[in-house]
Amino acid sequence: MESGRILIVEDEPHLRIILEKQLRDAPDSNYEVRSAEDGVKGLEEIRRDPPELILLDVMMPGMDGYEVCRQLKASPLTSRIPVIFLTAKTTLDDRLEGLNAYADDYITKPWDRQELLFRVRNQLRTRRAQLSSNALTGLPGNVIIENELARRIDMGEKFAFLHLDLDNFKAYNDYYGYARGDDLIRFMASLLVESVRLRGGEGDFVGHIGGDDFVVITTPERATGVASEVKDAFDTRVSSQYDPADRERGSITVLSSRQGGVKEFSLLSITILVVSNVGRDIRHSAQVSDIAKDLKKLGKAIAGSCIVPDRRTDGSLVSPVREASDPEARP
């Protein structure tokens, strides 16, 4: 059922009543609706208790909707609240002025009830997706990852959960700076999406936990192909993220604050942990995290990029050397 906290800012009393009723009576929805009679009171209400969406009239006494919207979008506390203008002003210049005030949508009076409800629903869904996504990569973040994994567990689906982590990313960040580090994370996100497109299938999921940690949820049958594609693509292309001299040398030298002095780091590698509920009873997403943590200890002991699958059904873990994707890998 759709839900959301909506504020109507409209100076015409009868229109406020109609809007409130249409939203409260919307099928398959449970909207919490309140209203304000002008722009000044609307801003006061928003600052007192920020809604999830605002339906904003344009032509109001005292402060018009354009100014209300500009003030909202100028404040970090309210800039991400979607604003739908609801107005009798219908010319192109009117619409452009609304867009110039950074409105998210525009509905003209008289409005169609079904169109209004569709636009309200879509703006609420878009806002929630944005808030739940990683700001750097745009990929689904922790909340959506958790929900997707829980959904598959609840549905009894067989799945493979791939946790992907870059080795020595902190050294890269320290050496090149945060801006280059962010570029590398976006490079990784793009590579991951492309690899899943090439070797994955319908329903596969890509998420960004944060920092240099990513996840893919796929089927057990596709897991090896996806993991191998990611690993090979990363090893082939990661050198492009280095300056020519460092790329030719194959390493960077970083001042170590923990150990003192300097330390040499080879080009970045990737560790891919594969957790599956095939042959193992997984009833909660926390179990997946626990297994991945144990696998990570094994993966980090392997030099270079590796894939570490959990293939035991008795709770024990595989040998990191034996299960590394590179037969030459060593602890």
Flag whether 63 is in a domain. yes
Do both 148 and 264 map to the same domain? yes
Q: Are 199 and 226 in contact (CB under 8 A)?
A: yes
Report if residue 275 sits inside a domain. yes
Please indicate whether residue 317 or residue 213 has the higher confidence score (pLDDT). 213
Residue 98: predicted pLDDT:
64
- Contact status, residue 76 vs residue 68, Cβ threshold 8 Å: no
**Opening angle at CA 14, ends 10 and 20, nearest 5:** 70
Residue after which a domain boundary falls, among 109, 131, 153 = 131
Whether 121 maps to a domain, the answer reads yes
User: Average pLDDT for residues 256-263, to the nearest whole number?
Assistant: 71
Are 217 and 152 contacting, i.e. CB atoms less than 8 angstroms apart?
A: yes
**Are residues 158 and 29 part of one domain?**
no
Residue 292 token pair: 């991945």
Claim to verify: residue 163 and residue 104 sit in the same structural domain: no
What's the pLDDT band for 314 if we cut at 50, 70, 90?
very low
Question: Is residue 328 assigned to a domain?
Answer: no
Same domain, 123 and 228: no
Residue 164 pairs in a beta bridge with 214, 272
Q: pLDDT value at position 325?
A: 42
Residue with tokens 């193992």: 280
Question: Could you tell me the CATH number of the domain that includes residue 48?
Answer: 3.40.50.2300
- Residue 118 sits in the same domain as residue 203: no
Residue 329 within a domain: no
On whether both 62 and 207 belong to a single domain, the answer is: no
Residue 263: pLDDT above 60? yes
Tokens, residue 30: 């449970």
Beta-carbon contacts of residue 173 (< 8 Å; ≥ 6 apart): 180, 181
Same domain as 146, residue 122: no
Count of structural domains, the chain: 2
Residue 331 placed within a domain = no
Q: Please indicate, yes or no, if residue 221 is contained in any of the structural domains.
A: yes
Co-location of 94 and 209 in the same domain: no
Whether 88 and 116 share a structural domain: yes
The C-alpha atoms of residue 191 and residue 197 are separated, in whole angstroms, by 10
Kindly state the average pLDDT of the residues 111-140.
87
Q: How confident is the model at residue 315 (pLDDT cuts 50, 70, 90)?
A: very low
- The count of C-alpha atoms lying within 13 angstroms of the C-alpha of 227, restricted to the half-sphere facing its C-beta, is 28
CB neighbour list of residue 37: distance below 8 Å, 6 or more residues apart: 10, 11, 13, 16
Residues 147 and 284 in one domain: yes
pLDDT in tens, 294-308: 899 888 888 899 999
Is the pLDDT reported for residue 323 higher than 60? no
Domain boundary among 106, 131, 156: 131
Q: Report yes or no on 137 lying in a domain.
A: no
CATH of the domain at 212: 3.30.70.270
d(CA 250, CA 242): 9
- Please say which residue of 98, 131, 164 terminates a domain: 131
Closest by Cα among 267, 279, 331, 330 to 309: 279
Indicate if 184 and 315 belong to the same structural domain. yes
Provide the residue range defining the domain that includes 148: 142-323
83 and 149 together in one domain:
no
Element (H, E) at 208: strand 205-210
Token digits for 295? 């696998």
**β partners of residue 252:** 265
Higher pLDDT, 88 or 199: 199
Q: What percent of the chain has pLDDT over 70?
A: 89
